[in-house]
Structure 1
């Protein structure tokens, strides 16, 4: 198929759908990147090996430098992943991380995945000042600290490090912490979190978090700090580190001013 002409001034526009890289104003590496993107998003299953640089260069009649540039951009975007000594593979699809008050366990089950939880550490100790303030604790008052690794279908997805109000949730650390914590709290204490305020940011993985999640130190993470309340009383201050290669955030935006007190959608 020949390259197309736009209706404005006759500029040559490559027809990416044709699967060919052509001469024109659009750089060849950009053309090849879009061709590969269509293949990845439309035809190739996650974990599929793509052809080698040499094979792609021959197939699309471009230099290996052009192929390397196109693949590098797709790796940066999270569509491809490199495995040393093995090749380049299509990455696992990112899951939509929508901002609503739901447990990890319930969210994974909703997606048809099997959630599992590994308890990393528990303690009852004095929290940092920011957490003590968030939970309404007096200076020097202890709280429950809980760290857990969350998996779905055996794949590590998130590390959670949370603090819990001992007055509202006495004996929490004695419950089965490998199950949904929200379900345990509802069952043991007849408490359901009815409101939360959540803050999100991006962060590079430190060595310990990277080790737990099976990624490299410095890889991108999505981080969420959530302070949850029940009947107006703060009970949970939890920070979660999600793998940036497995998640993307989805939000619905309306043309209205936010409420004065903020809140979580």
Structure 2
């Protein structure tokens, strides 16, 4: 019995508790107790008919569960119970290799390529000459067809000449190793949380304002900076876990290394 309405847990009734809140709890129980990760839920129309509520009520209930990370919308396919969050690895590994290691099929879509003068912080990080243009690459990364991350990065033009002639839908790190003998061996990484802007949300198939994990990483090979990349990861698919020990501030820098590409 619902303690606030006295109704059966599988019914939505008139009462002091709003219908969308009642339906949200019904769906929450179903997700948590009955449906495995990645399972589709019924359509808005089916749920509206089943519980005798409006589609607006259904949309509100589902929207809250999406915000909580229990459900996930996939554009053109429907709404699914959220997959278990993947751990973001704190070491240098390509996105392609990381997804394959997890048993997932990675794909990459190139969103844009330009040659332009980067902002000051990037020019400094890559040690570019004043006014020197750099390669700017924007990509969307998917696993098993699900969009997981948007990458917007800058690459040093003298370290990777002809970068845009490569197949950028493949692993970039593999290209750097094979074509330029560059194996990224060091990185400084900064992590923060952010709400998805309209463009990023559209690429990831999520609502504007949805939570994201953001990583900015400056990577080097043999002491020379090559890449200044910022990645926006879906907050409903990723989590970051770090071991914390009592230590000096300098040794704490280790927590900033790594990431996934």
CA distance in 1, matches of 2:229, 2:245: 28
Q: Secondary structure at the match of 1:105?
A: helix
Q: Is the 8 A contact 1:136 1:234 kept in 2?
A: yes
CA deviation after TM superposition for structure 1 residue 35, in Å: 9.9
The structure 1 residue matched to 2:194, chosen from 203, 207, 232, is 203
Give TM-score scaled by structure 1 length: 0.73
CA deviation after TM superposition for structure 1 residue 93, in Å: 2.4
Whether 1:245 and 2:236 are equivalent positions in the alignment is yes
Q: Which stretches in structure 1 are left out of the alignment for 5+ residues?
A: 1-18, 20-31, 57-68
Q: Secondary structure at the match of 1:211?
A: helix
Q: Is the 8 A contact 2:135 2:155 kept in 1?
A: yes
The residue number in structure 1 matching 2:99 is 108
- Which aligned pairs between 1:77-156 and structure 2 lie closer than 5 A? 77-81=68-72, 89-156=80-147
Whether 1:224 and 2:208 are equivalent positions in the alignment is no
The structure 1 residue matched to 2:39, chosen from 38, 47, 55, is 47
CA distance in 2, matches of 1:154, 1:109: 13
The residue number in structure 2 matching 1:29 is none
CA distance in 2, matches of 1:70, 1:126: 46
Does the C-alpha gap of structure 1 residues 81 and 160 become closer, same or farther in structure 2, counting only changes over 3 Å? closer
CA distance in 2, matches of 1:53, 1:80: 17
Q: Give structure 1 regions of 4+ aligned residues with deviation exceeding 4 angstroms.
A: 32-39, 50-56, 69-75, 86-89
Aligned residues: 236
- Whichever of the two has the greater Rg, that structure is 1
CA deviation after TM superposition for structure 1 residue 77, in Å: 2.6
Give TM-score scaled by structure 2 length: 0.74
Cα deviation per residue 1:179-204 (whole Å; 9 max; x = unaligned)?
00000000001110001011111111
CA distance in 2, matches of 1:171, 1:79: 44
CA deviation after TM superposition for structure 1 residue 52, in Å: 5.6
The structure 2 residue matched to 1:182, chosen from 130, 149, 173, is 173
Q: Is the 8 A contact 2:153 2:230 kept in 1?
A: yes
Q: Is the 8 A contact 1:198 1:227 kept in 2?
A: yes
Cα deviation per residue 1:202-232 (whole Å; 9 max; x = unaligned)?
1111111111111111111111100001111
CA distance in 2, matches of 1:264, 1:246: 21
Structure with bigger RCO (C-alpha 8 Å, 6+ apart): 2
Does the C-alpha gap of structure 1 residues 254 and 53 become closer, same or farther in structure 2, counting only changes over 3 Å? farther
CA distance in 1, matches of 2:160, 2:178: 12
Question: CA RMSD, aligned part only?
Answer: 3.7
Q: Is the 8 A contact 1:117 1:179 kept in 2?
A: yes
Q: Secondary structure at the match of 1:100?
A: strand
Does the C-alpha gap of structure 1 residues 213 and 36 become closer, same or farther in structure 2, counting only changes over 3 Å? closer
Q: Which stretches in structure 2 are left out of the alignment for 5+ residues?
A: 1-8, 10-22, 52-59
Q: Is the 8 A contact 1:98 1:251 kept in 2?
A: no
